[in-house]
Amino acid sequence: MTKAQKRLADLLERQSKSRQRMAELAGADELNDETRAELDTIEAGVPDLERQIRAARVAAADEEAEQRQAARDTEPDAEDRERAELRGKVRLSRYIGAAVETRAADGPEAEYNAAIGLPANRFPLELLAAPATETRATTNADAEATQRPWVDRLFSETAAMKVGITFQSVGPGVSAHPVVTAGASAAQRGRSEAASDAAWTVAVKDIKPTRNTVRASFSEEDANRLPGLEDALRRDLSMALTEGVDRAIFLGDAGANEDTADITGLIAQTGVTEKTLTQAAKVKAPDTLAAFASLVDGKHASGLGDLMVCASVGSNTLWLSTIAAATADTKTVASFLRENGLDWGVRGDIDTATAAGDFGAFVGLGRGIQGAGVAAIWNAGMLIRDPYTAAAKGEVALTLSHFWGFALPRPSNFARLKFVA
């Protein structure tokens, strides 16, 4: 942060504190001589403070313009180094502070947004990586108790990337993903024999942005009673958003009030190979292995090692607890599968049972899977802090949004396992 930007930040902080104190004094039932003099002093200083802020804004804007011009004059590698340096300085907490004061971010955050082409009132989604939780014990004067570290809400493990979904950061506009669907085949030809023309076709899968949002509110009383509450809530929202997007890739989300905003997950995507296991076959190790082995086609997968498997809690429990051949040994279905080269991870919130209609696993077929399934992320998040709508109740609402879309340019690289009757 430059000297002018630091001065502007300090002045804005003074202004915010002055306004807060004026509101407290104005709401008092009566004022004594001391508080009345304090209110008079604050009111008298308002014009001068506003003048200083205007001057500081001009100085900061001039410095930012000079910095942007200097950045344009440097070589590309120098720009990259400067951008990386700025990235190390930005903090999501300062974007939140800007949202609290209903203004655009300034300082390093404004510079970084300008460097990566984001509007000043947005923030880079990369900052949503949850920070370490506070471990310092604090004293709650109201309850006269020691507040221990926050225990954040636990979410299911994200797993879309484990089955080969490609997450791509995209800029404004529609994200177009071309895929070759047909082309030439090699053939032997004799002397002077012409090669035949081949039909070579390309399909383009367009992904348009849809909005995914999480929202929560808290009371001002709780914020003053529990240090770190708003930070904990922000962490919770960011983790909920991340988990919700990942879950939608598997199960879809049709809860929007218009079809164009719905997400069709792997559970219902057309073109995805679906293998089934009957209730009788699901407890038989050879039948379970055969269902996965049938996905090895020599094109999308050349062996069981090319299968990127994400199992449901239900199927994982079944495989770990079912003895493959009870009369012969104590080997479980899971042991049998792993000994034959199949491995998997587990994701919660898919299915906890293995009844007819439940899904047991989702599979990515690893050969050529890069770009076959795409979660496009428009890299500009929005955090809105609203202290006004429910001000009468003393409540503040936080809304965190980002824009994304999901599609399978080549669905044949994916499969699902379903239990049937």
pLDDT per residue as tens digits for the range 143-199: 445 556 778 777 777 899 999 999 888 888 899 999 998 888 889 999 999 988 888
String of DSSP letters for 48-112: HHHHHHHHHHHHHHHHHHHHHHHHHHS-HHHHHHHHHHHHHH--HHHHHHHHHTTS---THHHHH
Question: Helix 76-89 and helix 108-116: axis angle, to 10°?
Answer: 140
Tens of pLDDT, residue by residue over 327-376, are 777 889 999 999 999 999 999 999 999 999 999 999 999 999 999 999 99
The residue that leads in pLDDT, 282 or 77, is 282
pLDDT > 80? residue 419: yes
Determine the Cα–Cα distance for residues 72 and 37; give it in Å rounded to an integer.
52
**pLDDT greater than 90 at residue 83:** no
Instruction: Dig out the tokens for 240 from the structure.
Output: 């909920």
Flag whether pLDDT at 246 surpasses 90. yes
Could you tell me the strand order of the sheet in which 374-386 lies? 166-170, 374-386, 395-407, 210-219
- Give the pLDDT score at 106: 79
**DSSP reduced 3-state for 341:** coil
Identify which has the larger pLDDT, 171 or 292: 292
Tokens representing 213 are 């949002």
- Is the per-residue pLDDT at 140 higher than 60? no
pLDDT above 90 for 99: no
Amino acid found at 187 = A
**What pLDDT is attached to residue 134?**
41
| Whole-number average pLDDT of the chain | 83
Identify the band that residue 101 occupies on the pLDDT scale cut at 50, 70 and 90: low
| Whether pLDDT at 36 is above 90 | no
pLDDT at position 146: 57
Neighbours of 255 (CB within 10 A): 9
Does residue 62 carry a pLDDT above 60? yes
Residue 72 has pLDDT above 80, yes or no: no
DSSP 168-189: EEE-SS-EEEEEEEE-------
pLDDT tens-digit map of 201-223? 999 999 999 999 999 999 999 98
HSE on the CB side for 134, CA within 13 Å? 16
- Judged by DSSP in three states, 320 sits in helix
pLDDT on residue 133: 40
What is the pLDDT at residue 374?
A: 94
Q: Which has the minimum average pLDDT: 103-117, 153-167, 271-285?
A: 103-117
Average pLDDT, integer, range 20-27: 73
